[in-house]
A and B are shown apart, each in its own frame.
Chain A
Amino acid sequence: MLEARDLTKRYEDGVLALDHLNLTVDNGEIFCLLGANGAGKTTTINLFFDFIQPTSGRAVIDGIEVAADPIEAKKRASYVSENVMLYGNFTARQNLDFFTRLAGRGDLSREDYYMVLRRVGLQERAFEQRVKSFSKGMRQKLGIAIAILKEAPNVLLDEPTSGLDPKAGADFMELLLELKDEGKAIIMSTHDIFRAKAHADRVGIMKEGRLVMVRTREELTGEDLERLYLEYMQVETHAA
């Protein structure tokens, strides 16, 4: 379970990137965060991985406060970035081996790696290829493979399908649904309103560091999410 409790981040230059965010994502739930660039989506994810320190409030993973015990907290969460960057001189299998060992899993064999690479849809000939020759789609698949092998109960994804072709994007979302079915709590930031509506259990809209709207899948049934999103953007802007 992922929780943000009054989570706030103000950077050194005074910019308030996150303003008292309160959010809980249960196991087996996909929560999609929508919002313009600079709305606070990536800052939220950064705080869950201790990449930055909160100004106030807490990011909590399975009851463990990230800032207090980042190592224990990170054992329970996987991360997939917008542009999965791995070690280019290493093959896909070598990257998997390195990152799963970092995650504390030294028990995996070459066949285990191949199995998960097949599962994420990477072509066999790419298993022993250097990652520097990979397309973005292949790297994203490898990123999700690392997340799968980590076997963490929570997954946070930062615009993982941005820049992927439609087929690759759809494949990626299929994998995400599999992870959800395994009972993982998932937060995904995205600009893809249609995928959010199609796959998320709840959708939140962020604006200037605040979560200005949250709707469940049921509440969104029959709603035009794009119109809703644009309305929130305009209302907030006018109010400001």
Chain B
Amino acid sequence: MIWLIARREIADHLQSVRFVALCLLALVLMPLGAYVNTESYRSRQAYHEVLREATQEAMESGRRPVSGFRARPDDPGLRALRPPAPLSILAVGHDGSLPAYWQLTIEGVVPGPPLGRSEGLAGLIGEVDFLFVVQVILGLLAVLLAFDAVSGEKERGTLRAVLAHPVPRIQVILGKFVGGLVTLFLPLLLGTIASLLVLQIMGQTLLTGQALGRLALFVGGAGLYLSALLALGLAVSAVTHRQRTSLVLLLVIWVTLVLVLPRGAALVAAAVRPVEPHQVTERRIETALEPIEAERRQRLEAAWVAEGQDPEAIFTPADPELRARYGAKRQEIDAELFRRRRDVIRDIESERRRRLDSQRGLAAGIARLSPAASFGFLATEATGTGDAIRHRWEERVAGHQRQLEGLVFDRAVGFEVWTEHGSASSTSDEDEEQIPTYAELPRLEIEPRSFGAVVRAAFPDLAWLTLFNLVALVFAAVAFLRYDVR
């Protein structure tokens, strides 16, 4: 009986204007999005290649990074490069907005420019990718297929005709659910196939090993999300007696769940757990560094005076012996103070990051009430473009920075000399050999997470979407069992 009712539902849906219109829209947008996002991915890849070549050049040069306080703030050999995620074609997520690299410096990690900068309207109105089509277009189709499933049939009188037959109500509502689900899967599967074909033609296949598993997780998550909205639509239809009422109610719910809640969650989190703007943090860092800078000047002057020199003639040592003695002291003072500077910067920045993480966590928690947001988290987890990838990079880069501090930045070999004509370095070959060459430095390589790890990370969202499905479906069934068909 369930399949009989499902078949009728499918046949009815396939002939409906709402299905044809939204299905066509999805089938146009999915492959088009795949094409545009592949081009966009390739441009990010090209930028990454340019950066990689500069880093590679340093690696192959046989040279060593300049150490200590004289280290270059933009040394291409001391960068952690982030390649674009191939599956960003399906869900752009953070892939374009995260830094193309993190510059490792004596004062800490400095994020580079974003890997991809949206120059079109996407920056204003959001990306149109596979994720968007499923979340918005097919999500809308799900509620439009369900809104009149019960209330509409009651108004048209067909519900009485059906229930006058020996069919349990539970089978009727399940049949409607299955029928709606099969109907929804049609554009999802056709759109996926069309997108994969476009990618195949463009030579950007996703049908390989891990990518295939991640794609399956994405499509599975999409299925769960769409069925959750369908079940919710059935539940609303089964508690209303006019299709117009259920349509209005469902559109309000859809707008809330898909558009308002995910964005509103960020607003609420920002109000509850505010984080100061980056510029304010920078100003705080400057202020916190001022006493260290003053102490440095004071100690350098004291060292100079201790050599019996005139404080007014500081920084212009003509005598080579004096220069060497003073330089060594200066190196010692600077090495200590740079470490303190770095600690101050790190403390302030990590405090800000902690607050930001807390705010993001709250926003994500609130947003997850919406199955649309939950599916978004799941999808970006599957494509490697979500919040987890940002965390992972930031953590690993911070670890890498600590390694380089021990190997390069804290080895303040040599010292600077100051003359009337400016500064110059003074190091010996012996000093230099303490520093590893670029090629000898550890490389930061972040392998893509294993499929098992991705599934584990996506599990909370998978579980939540499944629970949402069950609750909505049970609610729909109970409401329909008590439904007054007069």
Q: Measuring CB to CB, which residues of chain A are less than 8 angstroms from any residue of chain B?
A: 46, 49-52, 70-72, 74-75, 77-79, 81, 83-87, 89-90, 98-99, 101-104, 146, 150
Contact = CB atoms under 8 A, between A and B. Distances in A.
Interface stretch (B4-12, B113-121, B141-149, B261-269): B4-12
A83 B1 contact: no
Contacts of A102: 1, 4-5, 162, 165-167
A216 B485 CA distance: 33
Interface string B443-486: 00000000000000000000000000000000000000000111
Contact of A81 (B8, B15, B161, B484): B161
11 contacts: A49-B164, A51-B486, A52-B484, A74-B166, A81-B161, A83-B157, A84-B157, A87-B12, A89-B15, A102-B1, A102-B166
B156 interface: yes
B166 A101 contact: no
Contacts of A90: 8, 11-12
Contacts of A98: 4, 8
Interface string B147-158: 000000000111
Contacts of A101: 4
B165 A103 contact: yes
Q: How large, as a class, is the contact surface on chain B?
A: 20 to 34
B255 interface: no
B160 interface: yes
B288 interface: no
Contacts, number: 67
B165 A74 contact: yes
A210 to B, nearest CB: 20
B8 A87 contact: yes
A107 B120 CA distance: 61
Contacts of A84: 157, 161
A86 B163 contact: no
Given A87-B158, A101-B4, A102-B4, A52 B486 contact: yes
Contacts of A78: 164
B166 A103 contact: yes
Given A71-B168, A74-B166, A99 B12 contact: no
Contact of B160 (A51, A72, A89, A103): A51
Nearest to A83: B157
Interface of B: 1, 4-5, 8, 11-12, 15, 156-158, 160-168, 484-486
Nearest to B485: A51
Nearest to B162: A102
A87 B24 CA distance: 25
A90 to B, nearest CB: 7
Contacts of A146: 161
B478 to A, nearest CB: 15
Contact of A99 (B1, B165, B168): B165
A104 B158 contact: no
Contact of B486 (A46, A72, A83, A104): A46
A17 B312 CA distance: 109
Contacts of B161: 79, 81, 84-86, 99, 146
Contacts of B168: 71
A89 B20 CA distance: 15
Given A49-B164, A81-B160, A104-B166, A89 B4 contact: no
Nearest to A143: B161
Contacts of A99: 161-162, 165
Given A49-B163, A51-B486, A89 B12 contact: yes
A118 B35 CA distance: 56
The residue among B4, B160, B161, B485 with the most chain A CB atoms within 10 A of its own CB is B161
B11 A89 contact: yes
The residue among B1, B15, B160, B484 with the most chain A CB atoms within 10 A of its own CB is B160
